[in-house]
Structure 1
Amino acid sequence: MNRLTRRWSEALPGTESTVFSGPSLWPLLALLADPAAGPAREELAEAAGVPADSAMRSAHELLDAFAAMQGVRSALGLWTAERLPLHPEWALRAPVGLTGRLGPDPKESQARLDAWAVQHTDGLIKSMPVKVTEDTKLVLAAAQVVRTRWLRPFDESFLETDRGPWRGRTLLGLRRTTSLLDRVGLTETPAGPLTVLKVLGDTGVDVHLLLGAEEMTPAQVLAHGIDSLDGDLVTGERLPLGRPGPGLTVGEERSTRPDPQLDVLTSPFRIAVDHDLLRQAALYGLITASDASRGHFPGIGPYPLAIQQAAQSALAVFDAKGFESAAVTAIAAVAGSAPPQPRYTVRRVEAAFDRPFGFLTVHRTSRLVLAAGWVAEPVPYRAPENPWD
């Protein structure tokens, strides 16, 4: 799944804010690879990264893994037209409780599918990303919600910078200080240096903030950020003095406490995006499967089926207290008093994410990337209302 997320990252077309979830798409590719035939079967298996013969079992294993992850909820849904027969051997091997029916009225069916998306994302996603038509014979969908609260919350403050695309603006910032210098690290990538800040959550799900060299693209930052999950980072206690990497300043200063200091400044964000997956069908193994001139899924049933729509709606929110994300992916087949005197000299590391940056939502033990995204537009600072005015 991280391979799929990395490929998706590499294919990002621009520099706008975005968020996407490979693990919300992956089970759909696996479930379709199993009953597919010919080139469609090969393309879907290659995109999923598992043999088609074992794809159904892998989908079951993924659902079991999600069920064991604290702070992560997932669901799968399958709806078929009333007159679409299914092969019993495929239907019985599909995850339990997966099947529902599409009624004769597309509007009523759409309302049921939209309600399913709302229910399984706690209202974060308001509708199914595909539309039911009179020709829709099958809809396969996956929903995922990720929630975590920071072990150490941030404080809201100003974010002001004199460089980069956010310079000269008064923005809302998030600040916090810790003595744990290993929360930040630096890695060298083929595209340039990359700063990684780990913000730990209380559910075993963390968010990694990624700041690359100014010339790096969002695609490069995210792709190399995923690579850093398996690489070695030079962490804060080992960074050289000065400005060793993007957003980093390392020095020594007098302090009243003997502990080192990591000061973090970043921007909150709320990003909602809809993705039409068929615009980059090759990336997801859907080129042949979307050719409606013939059927590609004989393992589902005797009725010839081709992919008509494939889309994802995704949301990510990062604030002072925690993080939450949601995604629904669907595929439709048509047819801080006076300070005391300092006594100690300590190491102080500053990490400032004051220009566009990337992020990864990571399950700590498995290192599975649950969501990835890019923050291009910061939140303006708005002074609180004066109750005496």
Structure 2
Amino acid sequence: MSVTAANTLTSRWAAASDGPAVFSGAGVYPLLSTLAGVAAGPARDELLAVAPSPLPLPPGFAAGVWTRHDLPLTPGWDPGTRLSGDPAADQRRLDAWAAERTGGRITALPVAVDGDTGLVLASALSVVTEWVQPFGDSTMTPAAGPWSGRPLPALFRKHTAADALEPLRHVDGVTLLTVAGTGDIDVVLALGTDAATPGSVLSTAIDGRHRATPSTGGPGVTVQDVDSATPEPELVVSLPSFDATAHHDLLALDRLFGLRTAARDGTFPGISPVDLAVSSARQQAVASFTALGFQAATVTALAAFPLAYHPLTTRKLRVTVTFDRPFGFLAVHRRTGLVLVAGWVATP
């Protein structure tokens, strides 16, 4: 249930924001679930509607909790670590936590600590995988679309085997290509039609992965009969390498994340008898797709303030998949199906 709910949050975020460059619903969900467990009234109802049950921690995930040094705490609430009361020192400590948990890919917590901060909840997610079959370097010059006529550095891979076409799927007008990585991580590339919006492509990929069917048709796919010494089909993949980075203000989509009442009225009696309201909710995310593998990291943080404180013998099939216009990507935990990181490549 929790994996489905987390993936639903990621899909709705993709649709609402029309395909951010890189983002992680899986990084936000555990924080919302934690708040739901200590909230009351409408704030609890809104949070439970988004995060109804705890999420088993995905690989590469870390969480932290910090509370104001003089904030009264509800019995049974684990304060994690107390803030010192020196905002500058606390900020350095939290930034160091973010850098350590993401291998230096993100060097600062995306929320600021000041003298009014009563609570900080943070998550860090690091995704690192190497391709089972690496790519080689190549070039591409798209003939049409937003990248038309631009010579681009590209990644190229060719695979010939009886099951070579197995990674290629299609669902609701979107081509899906699964790139297998180590450590139980797959990266799914998603290409829609020229007219499709980034949000619709990503939400279709997230929601439709499990019902996608094998197909040699769809956006970006061409099929040829070629001369060959062996009859096994061949899959050729070409795409640009990419780096993506993004900053997100979650309170700009407060209804999506169930934070509307939490930011306005607070009420988290499970933390403190003092009313707390969410004052800041942000995520920083980065991702990189190279010839050898995929790396991504996100840091998500919620801050709250206390209201009271102010070759030629036969024929074979060759299928080529070319990502030569904007496309989406998902990093998926293979065993559970949890979408860890998703994004949209608008510029190569």
- TM-score normalised over the length of structure 2: 0.94
TM-aligned CA deviation for residue 232 of structure 1: 3.2
Q: Is the 8 A contact 1:150 1:199 kept in 2?
A: yes
Name the counterpart of 1:75.
Answer: 62
Q: Which amino acid aligns with 2:286?
A: L
Taking every aligned residue pair, what percent have the same amino acid on both sides? 45
Alignment equivalent of 1:266, drawn from 231, 234, 239: 239
Extract unaligned runs of 5+ from structure 2: 1-5
Give the whole-Å Cα distance in 1 for the aligned partners of 2:134 and 2:197. Answer: 30
| CA contact 2:266–2:278 (8 Å) conserved in 1 | no
State the SS of the aligned residue for 2:182: coil
Deviation per residue, 1:54-88 (Å, 9 max, x gap): x4xx25xx13xx3xxxxx31111011111012223
Q: 1:231 aligns with which of 203, 208, 211?
A: 211
Q: For 2:9 and 2:207, locate their aligned partners in 1 and report how far apart those are by CA, in whole Å.
A: 13
The 3-state SS of whatever aligns with 1:347 is: strand
Aligned to 2:170: 186
CA distance in structure 2 between the aligned counterparts of 1:7 and 1:185, rounded to whole angstroms: 22
User: How far apart in 1 are the matches of 2:117 and 2:249?
Assistant: 17
Match of 2:34 in 1: 31
For 2:124, what is the secondary structure of its paired residue? strand
1:164 paired to 2:137: no
Give 1:227 shift: 1.9
Runs of 4+ displaced beyond 6 Å: none
Shifted more, 226-235 versus 108-117: the winner is: 226-235
Matches within 5 A, 1:165-314: 165-179=146-160, 180-187=164-171, 189=172, 193-235=173-215, 239=216, 244-291=217-264, 294-314=265-285
Aligned to 1:373: 343
Instruction: Note closer, same or farther for the CA distance 1:295–1:217 as it changes in structure 2 (3 Å cut).
Output: closer
- Going from structure 1 to structure 2, the CA distance change for 1:255 and 1:217 (only over 3 Å counts) comes to same
Matched, 1:6 2:6: no
Unaligned runs of 5+ in 1: 67-71, 92-97, 336-340, 379-389
Does the CA-based 8 Å contact 2:331-2:340 persist in structure 1? Answer: yes
- Give the total of aligned pairs: 336
What is the TM-score when the length of structure 1 is the normalising length? 0.84
| One-letter identity of the residue aligned with 1:210 | A
Check whether the contact 2:43–2:266 (CA below 8 A) recurs between aligned residues. Answer: no
Please tell me the root mean square deviation across aligned C-alpha atoms, in Å: 1.3
Helix, strand or coil: the match of 2:166?
A: helix
* Aligned AA (2:287): A
Distance 2:131 2:185 in 1: 10
